[in-house]
Structure 1
Amino acid sequence: MLSLLLVFGAGLLAGAMNAAAGGGSFVTIPALVFAGMPSVAANASSTVALLPGTLASAWAWRQEFRSFEGIPLPWLIGISFAGGLAGAVLLLATPQRAFDDLLPWLLLTGTLAFAFGRQLGEALRRHVRIGRGTVLAAQIVLAIYAGYFGGGVGIMMMAVWSLLGHADIRAMSAARTLLVSAANAVAVLCFALWGPVRWPETLVMLVAAVIGGYGGAVLARRLPAPVLRAFVIVFGLAMTAVFFLRR
């Protein structure tokens, strides 16, 4: 009973974070691990539980979907489907002990990407101009990462796209929600069919994340964006430290 309460609370917080600033997986995966779930199952279950929220975000942004300079949006969607599937298969093939060792580093990578991804993209754009081939290659890697773990992947995508010279923040935000949703949807299908999803905890977290997502949207209108981002970063760093200490 206590573990389900922990999972429900984590789902509420993660849904609110994703709606307001992102970074919900920094809450859900640790909570499922602390509730007694193996890390691979926690990762897969977290992806399933948070998918409805990402799909809802993509639907909300649907009027802003458009192709980037020289890169048709259908290409990026196809890459995201393929990369999400590859990442999910890679996760299922990863031994449990190896993923336990890798998880703190994934949390750290996701947190740093969330904290500094945009600044890095802006700084590099002042000195580097890359072509669409490089962006497509980077998108393949990011889609695989999204299916495998996904923490901070949306910020990574926007940082890469900014290197192409694309500066329309609304278009990038819309594309981010669509492509992350595409990668996660394929991963969820893979996890649901063959993965170690723990359905009781997952369904509790899914319902909580939907409720939290609505509350997070309301909260996002009242709190300054820097405050929300700072909370996600501090929480991500704290969870990273905890998992490094556990190892």
Structure 2
Amino acid sequence: MNTTPIQILASDYDGTLRKEGLVDPLDLQAISQFRSQGNLFGIVTGRAYDMIVNELIHYGIDVDFLICNNGSTIFDHEGNVIDQVNIDFNLACDLIKWLEKEDNVMFGACDGKHYFTVLNGSFSTIMKNNLIGTVTSSKEDIINTGTITAFFTRKSTDELTIDMGHRMERDFNYRLGLHTNGGTIDVGPKDVTKSTAIQFLQKKYPNAHITTIGDHLNDVDMVKDFHGFAIASGHEELKKIASHIVSNLSEAIKFLT
């Protein structure tokens, strides 16, 4: 009887599995081999479900779980919600009004699966790298659900985005959780992170060995808490706390197996 515990690998997506707009076939092969051994693989991303699910299908990336919005929504392999933490709806509506007053800003919000995006002023670019198969809803449709799990926003420069984040924290009395994600600020429920979502999975699989891998500041908590990997091209602060530094996902999987 095989008593070896299963392994769970929770991977960030942009900058980790997807680099410069592409997914390496070697990483896909490594994921397939890892799962064929009875292990579990999942994505942990700042993106909303409708912002990533068709891209995973496009690349043929099979997952056993999908954690979106930096931890506020967890899906099983069939896209069913198994856990979700929402922002207080009145607080979320106040943040929408606050963002609508910002000049030259991109922002959007998510109800768990679906999201909207708004461009104010001269801001004309939604993402630096083109996303595949995104499905965008209207602001009215999202607000009418009465549920907001996360926001994403940025200005025309990193400096202006950081300044906006500081002002947002002060104006909302630090009642929101802000995550720096590349040139974007992701906003979610306070004290909800990628790590807290993985801790939920840990309770579901108490005997599994969980490892994480990421590349940016919104991956710090999960990499630190689960003694994970950092991508060599990633943020220096993440590499300082990582247990191992690897060039790509396939190298991490080779280390685990």
TM-score, normalization by structure 2: 0.31
Structure showing greater relative contact order (alpha-carbon pairs closer than 8 Å, 6 or more residues apart): 1
Structure with greater proportional helix content: 1
Q: Which of the two has higher C-alpha Rg? A: 2
